[in-house]
Amino acid sequence: MGGALLDVLQSGAYVEGAAVRDFESGMSEYLGAEHIVSCGSGTAALELALRACGIGRGDEVITTAFSFFASAEAISAVGATPVFADILDDFTIDPAQIGARLTARTKAIMPVHIFGRPARMDDINQLAREQGVKVIEDACQAIGAQYKGKRCGTLGDIAAFSFYPTKNLGGIGDGGMVATGDGRLAVIVRAYKSHGGGKTGLEAARLLGMDVGGELAGQCEATALYDPYKYFNYLIADNSRLDSIQAAALNVKLPLLDGYNSRRRAIAERYSQELAPTPLALPAGDSAGSVSCWHQYAVLAEDRDGLAEHLGEKGIGTGAFYPVPLHLQKAFSFLGYSEGCLPAAEAACARSVCLPIFPELTDDEQAYIIDAIRSYYR
């Protein structure tokens, strides 16, 4: 890794350099997605995907109540309203709940492949088709997961990924990307991630139906002083680009990703086998046609805090993902949801504990963790 990072330092191209281009093409091949647009974070990728779909004020986007805050935050950030749906036993959004929430204002459905487990994409895509709305996958936890032979992030209209360091493919800082098979959406994402200027900005503005007048080239003469294409802007956009140093680190790790995910799977399978005699509710294995990438191994415990404390005393870190369902977050109190309205998500939030799962976890360390959990219930 050090050599790749040094190369970037010596290149002087720190933002959007050759490493970024290599990363986008490597990712396109890995995912089987025609267009990859890198950006600054998973949150930015969600916002860019929403903007590319033309979603804004007055629109509704149906998403799960059980996710990281950013899934819903991005919907609000573009001016739209998140509409929360409850979850199934495997923590993913319940398609029946989506159906019940579709309105004339619904512009998109945003399933989250939570903990690396693919959402029920066939049902979700069918609902979206019937309603004529977009499907925006939050694949931030799901790089390498598969559904019916395709990678998560290639199953809807457009998808967002995160390369936050703890993700299955983690950078050495923040990073993200948008994946899509739709070239028009990709142009709009490229424009929005970098100030909406130049030829890309013009093309994006036109695709968004804005009246931007004639050809860019006719608007001014090139001079020796500045690039006329660069300093004409068509959208109020953003600056969310991937640093070359992140891309270089991700380029080193991408060929190792499937191996990392296999190791996560082996760890998950061992937990499921050896924790079966405990009172914990263990995560289901893969349903037909879907392959989780095991971003988290979440169990449900009646006495979550007691278990976490017991493990903490033995030096074992756990996470309560997620302690608060999105519809009950203070930031969304203006939406008027009350306790009890999405019971499955609320129950999961009250009981879930995520056990250590990462490729570097050794067999001995996992044996120690399993032993510590069993001793709690003895």
Ligand X SMILES: Cc1ncc(COP(=O)(O)O)c(C=O)c1O
Query: In the complex, which residues of this chain contact ligand X (CB under 6 A)?
Result: 41-43, 67-68, 70-71, 112, 138, 140-141, 162, 164, 174, 176
Burial of 103 (0-12, 13-18, 19+ CB in 10 A): exposed
By C-alpha distance, which of 340, 359, 48 is closest to 187? 48
| 154/200 with CB nearer ligand X | 154
Tell me the closest approach of the beta carbon of residue 174 to ligand X, in angstroms.
Answer: 6
Q: How many CA atoms lie within 13 A of 93 on its CB side?
A: 29
| 74/191 with CB nearer ligand X | 74
Which residues contact residue 174 at a Cβ distance below 8 angstroms, ignoring those fewer than 6 apart?
40, 41, 163, 164, 246
Tell me the closest approach of the beta carbon of residue 273 to ligand X, in angstroms.
Answer: 27
Tell me the closest approach of the beta carbon of residue 113 to ligand X, in angstroms.
Answer: 8
- Asked whether the beta carbons of 15 and 40 are under 8 A apart, the reply is no
Tell me the closest approach of the beta carbon of residue 3 to ligand X, in angstroms.
Answer: 26
Distance, in Å, from the CA atom of 251 to the CA atom of 274, rounded to the nearest integer, reads: 36
| 200/261 with CB nearer ligand X | 261
- Mind giving me the DSSP string for 264-285? HHHHHHHHHHHTTTSSPBPPP-
Tell me the closest approach of the beta carbon of residue 295 to ligand X, in angstroms.
Answer: 8
Distance, in Å, from the CA atom of 84 to the CA atom of 185, rounded to the nearest integer, reads: 25
Tell me the closest approach of the beta carbon of residue 41 to ligand X, in angstroms.
Answer: 4
| 17/111 with CB nearer ligand X | 111
| 53/216 with CB nearer ligand X | 53
| 40/197 with CB nearer ligand X | 40
Of all residues in this chain, which one has the CB nearest to ligand X in the complex? 42
